[in-house]
Structure 1
């Protein structure tokens, strides 16, 4: 899955994924297996990315957080993994 110009995520079906870790895979309906985050260039890009995730069957995990200089949203993908998407004003980052 292409996330950005130089960022990709590999999505695996569960039987194949189980061949990688030595630990058991948890039930993401009950446990958080991992949290993944990335940033966007603008608030509009962030909202568009989350809208695509929700349109594809994802669920909003938390309400949007707007701190003025920083804006974030989160969603769970179809497997229950938690994704955080953040935008920060470049002027505030300096």
Structure 2
């Protein structure tokens, strides 16, 4: 079985977060969703668990950070083309995200933009020329 990643994020408004993550291409897995959590599937191996603050707090005694005020991580997600990066950013902004909280980068072989989710978590949305990746 391939390794999987589950990114667990505290959210203030579960429905708003579901709408945002759907806009960036995730689908909701109802088997692992309820009124306190939503499992959003980005790929066969990448899942984002959206957890209400009460639910998130059941996993840790540490305080929940305000991602709008501080940065603890930058999450990156690849797409197939520059046009798709731009389209995803438009959909994400229409679904409550903030487009380009960080400057966009165009290095020729790689193009990236960023989007902030409704709770302040920043995702780098990028395309990289497959020729630049090689056999990595």
Q: TM-score, normalized by length of structure 2?
A: 0.62
> How many residue pairs are counted as aligned between the two chains?
94
Root-mean-square deviation (CA, aligned residues, Å) is 1.6
What do the CA deviations read for 1:24-79 (whole angstroms, capped 9, x no partner)?
A: 11122311233211111211222222222111111121232111110001111000
CA deviation after TM superposition for structure 1 residue 7, in Å: 2.7
Q: Say yes or no: does 1:48 pair with 2:96.
A: no
Q: Say yes or no: does 1:35 pair with 2:74.
A: yes
Equivalent residue for 1:65? Answer: 105
Q: Could you list the runs of 5+ residues in structure 2 that have no partner in the other structure?
A: 1-39
Q: Could you list the runs of 5+ residues in structure 1 that have no partner in the other structure?
A: none
Q: Which runs of 4+ in 1 moved over 6 A?
A: none
Q: Say yes or no: does 1:83 pair with 2:120.
A: no
User: SS in structure 2 opposite 1:47?
Assistant: helix
Q: TM-score, normalized by length of structure 1?
A: 0.85
